[in-house]
């Protein structure tokens, strides 16, 4: 964002460059390996939402030790997450370890039972269905797992692994399962003759392809990809990402792409949500997040990504360093969850929780002082909307207004930060 460091200390600059060297080469090689036919996916607002998640919460009980095992607290792994997933589009979910992104994926696939909230899919609320009612719906939402070494049963053949969903759901007559398995293996770029081999005979990348073939077996409409490439080598990562893009184009599957690698998410997902401690702090299309981030956490996250293009021109962004650790999700900070590590936090942040405020056509941010780096406003932009004063105390004179963009999707009107007025498309 600034190239002020070009005239800075050369020695320190060099040290920085060395420490970033490894990361830079890996990011660079990834860019090179993703060939031209697999350009970054584009956002298409004309597509209808296929999955709508509203205020989803997952609180895991913490039990006391001893005989009675009373519930003494809750791990608020996911604490009110809302978003929309559009037909054949991809939403990237990023955040550091333990922020609840994997839990969100497992809630949508109902591996966990949500504490609160709704998951609307084709007019049904999946969050309220029992496991029995859910079974016929399961074929529409499938998942690609993170670890290709633990996601395939070592005692089953590839044919049995890929064929199991079809056998369980009875979608394919028993005699044709093998033929269908071989078709799927071919789709994911494996030799169809290898159906009677065991997973241990394949490499990590090949195993992940088997996992992808299994997830496609029921022809799902939504695929949750839980860090599908983070366990793979960079060169293999690119191959798998290309495969996922081909599959998305060919079958029109909507992806919830969970990752911590911002370069991959940027390539794969036209829309990105940033999570911190169980909440979405910023969500928007690729341009809004990567070029115009307004949440201090997103800004810090992005500043940690090595940028080849800026390195080539000699410029370097200023690194925003976050102090301390992520607070415990058992007892998250009051008000804004990020305030304990936020460089621009003020009194209001500990009192009032910032709402997810829409600030552009497709850009929402949850911060009282939403702004570009180094331009934090003096007064909280959200205070007038919430009906509080700048310290977070209720302001009897103010009239609380409707929060623009409140809900899983994007509204037609939004709050214009520059003029403190409502904007319109």
Partner 1 sequence: MTTPGTQVELANPHTGEEGATVGKEVVSKSPMRLAMERFRKDTLSMISLVVVVVYIIAAASAPILVAVGVLDPFTYNQDLLNEYGVAAGPYGGISAEHPFGVEPRAGRDSLARVWYGISFSLSIALVAALIAIVIGVVLGIVSGASGGWVDAIIGRIIDLTLAFPQTLMLLALSSVALAFIIEVLHVPGSEGSPLPRFIYVVGVLGLFGWTTTARLVRGQVLTLREREFVHAANLVGASRMRVYFKEILPNLWAPILVSFTLMMPAFVSAEAAMAYLNVSVAPPTPTLGNVLTDSLSFVSSNLTYFIIPAVLIALVVVCFNLLGDGLRDALDPKSGR
Residue numbers at the binding site for partner 1 (CB under 8 A): 106, 109, 111, 131, 134-135, 138-139, 142-143, 145-147, 150-156, 161, 164-165, 168-169, 189-191, 193-194, 197-198, 200-203, 205-206, 211, 214, 218, 239
Q: CA torsion 69→70→75→79, rounded to 10°?
A: 140
Closer residue to partner 1 (CB): 144 or 385: 144
User: Is the CB of residue 373 less than 8 Å from the CB of residue 1?
Assistant: yes
By C-beta, is 180 or 379 nearer to partner 1?
180
Smallest distance, partner 1 to C-beta of residue 126, A: 13
CB of 156 to partner 1, least distance (A): 7
The string of DSSP codes covering 341-409 is G-TT--HHHHHSPPP-EEEETTEEE--TT--STT---SS-TTHHHHTB-TTS-B-TT----PPTT-SSS
Q: What is the DSSP letter of 304?
A: T
Closest separation between CB of residue 170 and partner 1, Å?
11
> From the CB of 384, what's the least distance to partner 1, in Å?
46
By beta-carbon proximity to partner 1, the closer residue of 168 and 393 is 168
- Taking the least distance from each CB to partner 1, the nearer of 155 and 309 is 155
Left if phi > 0, otherwise alpha if psi is -120 to 50, otherwise beta: which for 39? Answer: beta
Nearer to partner 1, 15 or 135 (CB): 135
Phi, psi of 192 (to 5 degrees): -65, -20
Residue 185 or 344: the one with the smaller Cβ distance to partner 1 is: 185
- The residue ranges of DSSP E strands in 227-333, in sequence order, are 254-258, 271-276, 279-285
Instruction: Please name the helix (run of DSSP H) or strand (run of DSSP E) that holds residue 143, with its range, or none.
Output: strand 141-144
Shortest separation between residue 112's beta carbon and partner 1, angstroms = 10
We find the least distance from the C-beta atom of residue 256 to partner 1, in angstroms, to be 14
């Amino acid at each position: 964002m600034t190239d002020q460091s070009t005239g800075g200390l050369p020695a320190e600059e060099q040290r920085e460059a060395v420490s970033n060297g490894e990361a830079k080469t890996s990011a660079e090689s990834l860019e090179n390996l993703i060939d031209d036919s697999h350009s970054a996916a584009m956002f298409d607002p004309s597509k209808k939402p296929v999955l709508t998640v509203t205020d989803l919460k997952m609180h895991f009980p913490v039990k006391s030790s001893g005989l009675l095992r009373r519930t003494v607290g809750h791990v608020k792994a996911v604490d009110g997450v809302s978003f929309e997933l559009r037909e054949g589009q991809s939403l990237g979910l990023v955040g550091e370890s333990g922020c609840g992104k994997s839990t969100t994926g497992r809630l949508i696939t109902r591996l966990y039972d949500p504490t609160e909230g709704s998951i609307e899919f084709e007019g049904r609320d999946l969050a309220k269905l029992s496991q029995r009612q859910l079974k016929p719906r399961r074929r529409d939402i499938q998942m690609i797992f993170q670890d290709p070494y633990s996601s395939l049963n070592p005692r089953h053949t590839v044919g049995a692994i890929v064929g199991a969903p079809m056998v369980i759901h009875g979608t394919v007559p028993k005699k044709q399962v093998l033929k269908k398995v071989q078709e799927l293996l071919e789709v994911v770029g494996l030799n169809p003759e290898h159906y009677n081999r065991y997973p241990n005979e394949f490499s990590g990348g090949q195993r992940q392809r088997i996992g992808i073939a299994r997830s496609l077996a029921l022809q799902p409409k939504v695929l949750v990809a839980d860090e599908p490439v983070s366990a793979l080598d960079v060169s293999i990562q690119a191959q798998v990402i290309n495969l996922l893009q081909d599959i998305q184009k060919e079958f029109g599957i909507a992806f919830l792409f969970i990752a911590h690698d911002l370069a991959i998410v940027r390539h794969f997902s036209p829309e990105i949500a940033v999570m911190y401690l169980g909440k979405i702090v910023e969500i928007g299309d690729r341009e809004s997040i990567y070029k115009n981030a307004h949440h201090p956490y997103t800004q810090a996250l992005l500043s940690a990504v090595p940028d080849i293009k800026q390195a080539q021109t000699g410029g370097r962004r200023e690194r925003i360093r976050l102090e301390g650790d992520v607070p415990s999700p058992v007892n998250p900070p009051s008000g804004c969850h990020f305030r304990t590590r936020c460089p621009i936090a003020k009194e209001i942040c500990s009192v009032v929780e910032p709402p997810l405020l829409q600030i552009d056509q497709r850009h929402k941010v949850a911060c009282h002082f939403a702004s570009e780096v180094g331009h934090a406003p003096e007064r909280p932009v959200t205070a007038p909307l919430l009906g509080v004063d700048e310290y977070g105390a209720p302001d009897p004179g103010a009239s609380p207004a409707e929060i623009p963009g409140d809900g899983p999707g994007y509204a037609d009107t939004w709050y214009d930060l520059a003029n403190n007025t409502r904007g319109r498309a």
